[in-house]
Amino acid sequence: MLKESYRLQNLEESATIAMSQKSRELKAKGVDVINLSLGEPDFNTPDFIKEAAKKAIDDNYSKYTPVNGYEDLRAAICTKLKRDNNLEYAPNQIVVSTGAKQSLANIMLSLINPGDEVIIPAPYWVTYVEIVKMAEGIPVIVETGIDTDFKISANQLKNAITAKTKMLLYSSPCNPTGSVYSKEELQTLVDVVKDKDIFIVSDEIYELINFNSKHYSIAQFDEVKEKTIVVNGLSKAFAMTGWRLGYMASSKWIADACTKMQGQFTSGTNSITQRAAVNALLAPASSVDYMVKEFNKRRDLVYTLASEIKGIKLNKPGGAFYLFPEVDAFFGKSYNGKTIKDADDLSLYLLEEGHVATVSGSAFGSPKCIRFSYAASEKELVEAMKRIKTALEKLQ
């Protein structure tokens, strides 16, 4: 009997994409749904970036691109890393990919062997575990909680390491919690792994959406820089989700391995996107301050409104554009004959009863929570929080 591969059978569908699809289906039926499930800025790409793309079309950038990206784009990434993060890389240590998700896939497929363990603090971005599974690695989930701002401690990391540990994978600012690791917190993690043969993958895609503190990369610590892979991209900070460009910075041999892997999958990233990316990366970080200020304002608005809902427990996110409340106080409650057993049920209930799309925390390794994005207009957010509050108050 012909059927799909075991890799696909073991692969979970992206929960964020699945919930967004359900939201679209309801909208197609005429239901007024507010979609807070996807992590997508509601801003348009800045004009100076769009102008660079238009010029690239006129200049006939229509040929195949180098697998690891145009030389001047990789040089621009190096300039950005030095300017913003005090990290020294050469262009041959950079690999440009079709989104940061592909960068992560390249890394896993290039460095992880069957049976290798990858430590992932929970909550985690939904795709981390699935990418590790695709590489036939073993995800080792370390649970964190709201009381520690959803951040892993040095002792937790130390206790999770075994003879099979090959990698630590985490994000800061974090999706889904918005938590940001301080320099001091990163130092405690460095002290645990610096003498061990363990790769560190630092997902920094939300780097510029940071409200309270300076961003620190774990690659800034000399003790672990050679085994650290920094992953970043343009989707979030520059509102370029549809342009699909991510990149990684690492030791040259790791970059070479990921280039080889990518060469057999997609080859080089879209030429027009790459030309636009040069302009984006060479612009000062302040060029997107207006978006960050608006996200900060929305964070405060949504945090305040959510704090007024009895039964919700919150941390105040330091970055990204998500709220990730604990909602287990509603488990076991009912409305109209339907009982909420878990976060999956609650997320579906909020969609069907409140007409607000959220994502269950189970998809992020935290089954007591739900995630919703505040990358929407203030008007939509106020209405969404009103609907959520009303729907939750119906549960008895």
pLDDT at 256: 98
CATH classification at residue 297 = 3.90.1150.10
Q: Write down the pLDDT at residue 158.
A: 98
The verdict on 52 and 34 lying in the same domain is no
- For residue 27, what pLDDT is reported? 77
Give the mean model confidence (pLDDT) for residues 200-221. Answer: 95
Show which of 284, 300, 329 is a domain's final residue. Answer: 284
The mean pLDDT value for 366-386 works out to: 95
Query: Are 205 and 296 within one domain?
Result: no
The structural domain count of the chain equals 2
| Residues in Cβ contact with 237 at an 8 Å cutoff, skipping those fewer than 6 apart | 206, 207, 208, 209, 288, 291, 292
1 domain residue, yes or no:
no
User: What is the C-alpha to C-alpha distance for residues 321 and 324, in angstroms, rounded to an integer?
Assistant: 10
User: What percent of the chain has a predicted confidence (pLDDT) above 70?
Assistant: 99
Burial annotation 188-220 (CB, 10 A radius, 16+ → b, else e): bbbebbeeeebbbbbbbbbbbbbbeeebbbbbb
- Answer with the one of 252, 284, 316 that is the final residue of a domain: 284
Kind and range of the H or E run holding 168: strand 165-171
Helix (H, G, I), strand (E, B) or coil at 70: coil
CB 37 within 8 A of CB 356: no
Cα(82)–Cα(29) distance, integer angstroms:
50
Range with lowest mean pLDDT among 14-23, 133-142, 332-341: 14-23
Say yes or no: 121 and 153 in one domain.
yes
CATH code for the domain of 60: 3.40.640.10
Given a cut of 90, whether residue 194 has pLDDT beyond it is yes
| Same domain? 33 vs 76 | no
Question: Comparing 176 with 4, which gets the higher pLDDT?
Answer: 176
Instruction: Tell me: do 173 and 107 sit in the same domain.
Output: yes
Q: What is the mean pLDDT of the chain?
A: 95
**Residue 359, Cβ neighbours under 10 Å: how many?**
30
* pLDDT above 90: residue 383: yes
The verdict on 73 and 91 lying in the same domain is yes
For residues 301 and 135, the answer to whether their CB atoms sit within 8 Å is: no
Helix (H, G, I), strand (E, B) or coil at 132: helix
Question: In the predicted model, is pLDDT for residue 16 greater than 90?
Answer: no
**Co-location of 83 and 206 in the same domain:** yes
Band (23; pLDDT cuts 50, 70, 90): confident
User: What φ, ψ does residue 41 adopt, rounded to 5°?
Assistant: -60, 145
pLDDT tens digits for range 237-269:
999 999 999 999 999 999 999 999 999 999 999
Position 287 scores a pLDDT of 92
Residue 275 near residue 119 (C-beta atoms within 8 A): no
Answer whether residue 14 shows pLDDT above 80.
no
Both 154 and 194 in a single domain? yes
For residue 9, the model assigns a pLDDT of 84
The reply to whether 248 and 381 lie within a common domain is: no
Residue 200 lies in a domain: yes
Kindly state whether residues 199 and 302 are assigned to the same domain. no
Of the three residues 232, 249, 284, the one that is the final residue of a domain is: 284
Residues 212 and 227: beta-carbon distance below 8 Å:
no
Domain that holds residue 17: 6-44+288-393
296-346 pLDDT tens trace = 999 999 999 999 999 999 999 999 999 999 999 999 999 999 899 999 999
- Count the neighbouring beta carbons within 10 Å of the beta carbon of residue 280: 23
Note whether 95 and 188 are same-domain residues: yes
Do 386 and 337 touch, CB atoms closer than 8 A?
no
Reported as a single tens digit per residue, the pLDDT across 342-367 is 999 999 999 999 999 999 999 999 99
* 303 & 214 share domain: no
The answer to whether residue 359 is domain-embedded is yes
Indicate the pLDDT class of residue 57, thresholds 50, 70 and 90: very high
Signed CA dihedral, 130, 135, 140, 144: sign only: negative
Task: Please tell me the predicted confidence (pLDDT) of residue 127.
Answer: 93
Residue 93, in any domain of the structure: yes
pLDDT for the residue numbered 13: 74
Distance CA 221, CA 227 (A): 11
What pLDDT score does 22 carry? 79
Using CA atoms, how far apart are residues 34 and 169, in angstroms rounded to an integer?
Answer: 32
Percent pLDDT > 90 in the chain is: 87
